[in-house]
Chains A and B, each alone.
Chain A
Amino acid sequence: MENFTPISSTIGGVLIGLSAVLFLLWHGRIAGISGILGGSLATTRAGDVGWRIAFLGGLIVGGIALSFLHPTGFAVTVERSPAALIVAGLLVGFGTQLGSGCTSGHGVCGIGRLSTRSIVATCTFMAAGAASAAIVTHLLGGSL
């Protein structure tokens, strides 16, 4: 537990919740990142791409700014081969669309309004993530 960061992690969580509440108050929508990104990439929907790009732009510009203001926030990376990252990216991209959400849409916004679907989805991806992480650590020696 030497890496435990209870205060900054709680503050971070509160800001995420605040952002999602403001987004609901302003736009009336769920702040689910995979849904916002997926909707901006899907070819079938038109007319509502602007706010999606603006929200995603805020995330990316935030990353640019924080890489200068708070570089330690990106410090603890993990070594993964490009192949592993590509497979993981495809799984996350496809899986979040198939499962209708990710950590933000299901994990925060969905559970926050006590959606059964989101509670079930969050338990499922947490369990799959925990099992996969344990397999990588114990069976694959921690490297991919």
Chain B
Amino acid sequence: MKLFAAFVSGLIFAVGLVLGGMTQPAKVIGFLDFTGGAWDPSLALVMGGALAVYGLGFRLVTRRSSPILEASFQIPERSDLPARLFVGAVFFGVGWAISGFCPGPALVSLGSGMSQALVFVPAMMAGMILFSMWSPSPLAEPSPDNSENAL
């Protein structure tokens, strides 16, 4: 049941990404580049729609004492702003703009057989593995889940 629920969540997420236009790299780049003359604000609406639902849903769901299928919520509670947060976000932003892929849409596009995703996704996974091998301050403290990495 847990696995089925996670699978269904992923499936709905995929449909949302595709309808939203996130699996069209040129559209993503057209959103990021508002100097290009043909700025496409669609993706701001993807984020706006998602935030409206999640902002409300988060408040409703976390009134419960626990989730349905697990013993407790695993919500990150950190509020520090270390340098690595900024450096990581810059790396991510640059890679996102070059390719038009962020992680979710890249995986959905891989499923569709899009040729660019067939190259991008293995490289992305390699980057993640490199990080786990290099990991500066071993993200340590995986208690209860590694909240730092749970994002």
To the question of whether A and B form a pair in one complex, the answer is yes
**Minimum Cβ distance to chain B for residue A135 (Å):** 8
Closest to B77 in A: A115
CA A16 to CA B52, docked complex, whole Å: 11
| Contact assessment for A98 and B10 in the assembled complex, using a CB-CB cutoff below 8 Å | no
Provide the residues of chain A in CB contact with B109, threshold 8 Å.
Answer: 63, 74
- Interface members, chain A 73-122 (any B CB < 8 Å): 73-78, 80, 82, 84-113, 115-118, 120-122
CA A78 to CA B109, docked complex, whole Å: 13
Provide the residues of chain A in CB contact with B122, threshold 8 Å.
Answer: 89
- Which of A16, A115, A116, A127 touches B20 (beta carbons < 8 Å)? A16
Total interface residues on A, using CB and 8 Å?
Answer: 120
Q: Which interface class (under 10, 10 to 19, 20 to 34, 35 or more) fits B?
A: 35 or more
- Which of B20, B26, B54 touches A78 (beta carbons < 8 Å)? B26
**Minimum Cβ distance to chain A for residue B123 (Å):** 3
CA A77 to CA B62, docked complex, whole Å: 39
| Contact assessment for A24 and B35 in the assembled complex, using a CB-CB cutoff below 8 Å | no
- Which of A2, A27, A113, A128 touches B89 (beta carbons < 8 Å)? A128
- Interface members, chain B 1-27 (any A CB < 8 Å): 2-27
| Contact assessment for A37 and B21 in the assembled complex, using a CB-CB cutoff below 8 Å | no
Whether, in the assembled complex, A141 has its beta carbon less than 8 Å from a beta carbon of chain B, the answer is no
* B interface list, Cβ under 8 A from A: 2-27, 29-30, 32-36, 38-43, 45-55, 57-58, 61-62, 64, 66-70, 72-76, 78-81, 84-104, 106-116, 119-133, 138, 142, 145-146, 148-151
